Structure 1
């Protein structure tokens, strides 16, 4: 794991008060959910209702 990824994992785990193992488990679960949704033809979006903005997550 490169230093940038390790730092992101540490930050995420600390913010959520999780062990590194649980943080990785959750990240994998989220990645799988997103992949499954995209495979089914769905789009993943975030919405900022205050600004009336929609952003689409595009995976490569």
Structure 2
């Protein structure tokens, strides 16, 4: 699960979202903390799913 999707994307937002998702997953695979605005302080509710993603990625390395 990639956190922070929210509303359905349209038009150029689709490609931007896919690029952001890919960057998020790639960072996790490298063992790095993703730089992703969707994980900012405004989205505290995403910290749990994000931490779970970090842990699962670490298990796969």
TM range, normalised to the smaller chain? 0.3 to 0.5
TM-score normalised by the chain length of structure 1: 0.45
Which has the larger helix fraction?
A: 2
Relative CO higher for 1 or 2, CA cutoff 8 Å, sep ≥ 6?
A: 2
TM-score normalised by the chain length of structure 2: 0.45
Which protein is bigger by CA-based radius of gyration?
1
Which has the larger strand fraction?
A: 1
